Amino acid sequence: MLHKLINLNEDLSKLQGDGYAISLIDGYLIMENVPYVNSEKEILGGILISEASISGDKVSPPKDHVIHFQGEFPCDDNGKPIPAIKHGITNRELVNGITSNYSFSNKPKEGLKNHYDKMKHYLRIITNYAQAIDPDAKANSPYFKPEEELMLNYADTNSSRSFITSVSKKLRGQKIAIIGLGGTGSYILDYVTKTPVKEIHLFDNDVFSQHNAFRCPGAPDSEQFNEEVLKVEYLNNIYSNMHRGIIPHEENITESNLDLLLEMDYVFVSIDISQPKKNIFPFLIKHEIPFIDVGMGVDITDDRLFGTLRTTSSTIGSPDSYIGRVSLEDVEDDVYTSNIQISELNALNAALAVIKWKKNSDFYDDQIKEHNSTYTINTGQLLNEDFTL
């Protein structure tokens, strides 16, 4: 409803059209991704917050020229506080986890007729000094800091437009590992890359071959297959355009390098051989690292494909939930080791795994709390197991 209000009010629509990450929340106009200089002459990202009275489909003009700010006090390019905006120290939560650390007051002679004028007025004062240090430091450009909190190369305006920024922030700081970058693993990477996690570690020592192009996202140039680039390198080259926390490892996880998983907060296991899991699973459980294992078994009969997708999670509270569901031995005729893979099935398997990870991260509501789910192709059934009501 509130995003419609932005479209119905010319000043707000103009701000959004200029590329600013704005939202309306409980009577406040929020603008994120505001570059400013702190006392150490570092460029950080702050939030401007202005009261916005709503009446029906209209957002009333600003009632005054005072505005709130979340962040350190903005300084000039020499690290000195900007005197022209000093007003007060507030340090109180205004709305939805957004805190006002300071209030600013600076009234131009021509006044502030609408919210566009008001936000642009304070932007000019604050960001001009940031741009003196770095000309790319603009609130409507793909630039923001601090790096330890925001790992995307450009602002997630999708979350801000949908008013779920506070929900997305729950994923910040996590270190994720993806073991196996085949069909399903590459789609897992695609989905995780669109979140603000801190690091995404990729483990695979295989070359990206022509058949992989039909299992993973995107459309590589045919010349790519002559270069014999490893999967982790190929995928890192693509997704580092969006996320700067991707760390490729040109190796598989074996008994000898399990320590590489010690700092992970969550691990996705998407490999089509079972033997390595005999070492990986106990290690993760011992160190209380939750993980999700995915499996896809597809076969052919009467010239049609049938099969099942499996998503199995192990959590700190139920670490052994994989027992009886995930094979730890490679059996030649095991349906889960079938080599038939289709991109939409890989994508669905990855989506179910990422949804479960986000449920375990309190991003999605999770009333069932299942540890195992299966999707059967020919019946269209999605079944959950091992749940409590």
Give pLDDT, residue 336.
44
| Low-confidence spans in the chain with pLDDT less than 70 | 1-4, 142-150, 155, 157, 160-163, 165, 330-338, 387-389
Instruction: Return the SS3 of 160.
Output: helix
Give pLDDT, residue 169.
82
Rounded-to-integer distance, Cα 37 and Cα 263, Å = 32
Length of the chain: 389
Give pLDDT, residue 41.
92
Give pLDDT, residue 33.
87
Give pLDDT, residue 144.
57
Give pLDDT, residue 147.
46
Contacts from 383-386 at CB under 8 Å and sequence distance 24+? 385/325, 386/318, 386/321
Domain ranges of the chain: 2-155, 173-385
pLDDT digits (tens, 9 = 90+) for 314-363: 999 888 888 888 887 766 555 444 578 899 999 999 999 999 999 999 99
Give pLDDT, residue 227.
84
Walk across the sheet containing 28-37 and list its strands. 22-25, 28-37, 43-51, 66-70, 98-105, 86-95
Residues in a beta bridge with 39:
none
Give pLDDT, residue 157.
64
Rounded-to-integer distance, Cα 96 and Cα 38, Å = 25
Give pLDDT, residue 1.
40
Q: What is the CATH number of domain 173-385?
A: 3.40.50.720
What is Dmax (Cα atoms) for the chain? Answer: 80
CA atoms within a 13 Å half-sphere pointing along the CA-CB vector of 377? 18
Give pLDDT, residue 331.
62
Rounded-to-integer distance, Cα 70 and Cα 58, Å = 26
pLDDT digits (tens, 9 = 90+) for 215-237: 899 998 888 888 889 999 999 99
Give pLDDT, residue 6.
78
Tokens representing 365 are 């509501």
Contacts of 199 (CB under 8 A, 6+ apart): 151, 174, 175, 176, 245, 246, 247
Give pLDDT, residue 343.
94
In the chain, DSSP finds a helix count (H) and a strand count (E) of 9, 16
Rounded-to-integer distance, Cα 82 and Cα 65, Å = 17
